[in-house]
Structure 1
Amino acid sequence: MAERMGFFTDTSICIGCKACEVACKEWNDVPDDGFVFRATSYDNTGGLGADTWRHVAFIEQPGGDGGQGIEGWLMSSDVCKHCTRAACLDVCPTGALFRTEFGTVVVQADVCNGCGYCVPACPYGVIDRRERDGRAFKCTMCHDRQLGGLEPACAKACPTDSIQFGPLEELRARAEERVELLRGEGRPRARLYGADPGDGVGGDGAFFLLLDEPEVYGLPPDPVVTTRDLPAMWRWAAGAALSMVAVVAVSFSGRGWSR
């Protein structure tokens, strides 16, 4: 197993250029989004999906700018979180989803049967299926580029280094220092999201520095692995099945004895 690699996205220096979106589409041959005008934001893609593996959110808010009381923008390049405890892996019946040697989670499109179990399993709502054939798609963290010793296309294209790629532990240490710096500069709401290995998904392989509450960015405040109760449920089901077999056996044996 190679060293676990990841993304650290520093939203404080994202300029909303969407170079990451374009680079992702070009390298991975991701189709267009349909060019639907939503009339709700300057954001032209709307959210992550089967045809948007990187999504730059434009959040316009009065009193923005990290809580400084100045109207402004919050911007963030969102992506699959490549969870340490990935529920999508737990529910995939074909093995289309797998954990790579870099610790990332990838969908093999040629193995996906389009069942869609992974879609509701994702606590972040990242995975989506294409209407054309029903197969699931999401960010691969450019697994093919990593195999060649290259950084993912989105990180390579980012002009401000808002998207940083590297060994996950190194990124976490760097991110902690960045948070302390921003707080010292008067950004008290600066925080890390998805960097804690003790959270509900065991930490994310793609984590973020945010300037406001996670909900402002459309992120769940306390994500948990959605399959956490599966072992207990299987044990309960197995126990119930054994009890049913026992009842049936006793019933038949009783009938045989009465005769």
Structure 2
Amino acid sequence: MASFAAGDLTDRVVALIASTLEMQAEASVEPPKIFIGDVICTIEEQLARLPDMAKLLPSERSKLDAIGTELWNVCRSPSRSSNLEDKETVEMYSRVLAVAFALVDITSPYNAQGYSQSIGLREKWLISYTGHVRALEVAFEAAHICIETAPLDYTLRILKVVAKRLNSLEASDPAIDQVQLDSISTEYYMFRVHLAWRQGRSDIADHLFAKVPLKASINNRSVVVERCLHVGRGALEVGQYDASIKWLETALEQMQEIPEDQGLGLKNLTLHVRHTLGQSVQAGLWKK
């Protein structure tokens, strides 16, 4: 059963890769888009029914991982492109990207179940840890793209995976560095903040922001600043000037916590925050 499910899924993903490349080559056109949409729906249904990945043969896991990575590479750059004016095409690429992430996730182990019984505890921990880190890195990049370009359900699905893996890391990997856990938690909660705001739940966004471990490193600060900027800019675009000012001022407060010698690379981000804040303040004054 597992072999049949994995083989059928592999065929569908190969077809999706080919259609996505065709859409890129022809700058295109409705037939590939319609076909891609249908294939995405079918793959999502198959992923939901796929048995525990530990039951798959190593060759099946390896093949799914390879085509998932290929699909990710095919659609990653187009989905990030600001040159695509067709919102439908951008959304399509983002949906393909979400499928690619799902494949990376299911082939990145949560634990060493299904591996040889002869491996030691250290090797088992490394298998689990490497699987989590790889999936989380891809998850955050996928969320960064999908939250602005795809239906919000896609970002929600991605963040549910992040939450599950974060819980697993906290519960079963005592050797992991606390700073790294704080960094992962910060990025997770800031995406949750951004998503809650986009869902129109500013109260939940405020609640989630209170959970962010702000005491951590420069990497955490830059993540906080970037997400606050996205929320502030989004609020400005829809005329919520007070909310925009609030989140942009929060971004500036976090920038001030970064030591000057460590924050040089964030200069452009700071300028962007200040510029957007100025626009929000001016627009708010005009409104009054």
Question: Highest relative contact order (Cα 8 Å, sep 6+), 1 or 2?
Answer: 1
Higher strand proportion (structure 1 or 2): 1
Question: Radius of gyration: which is bigger?
Answer: 1
The two structures share one fold, judged by TM-score above 0.5: no
TM-score after normalising by structure 2: 0.27
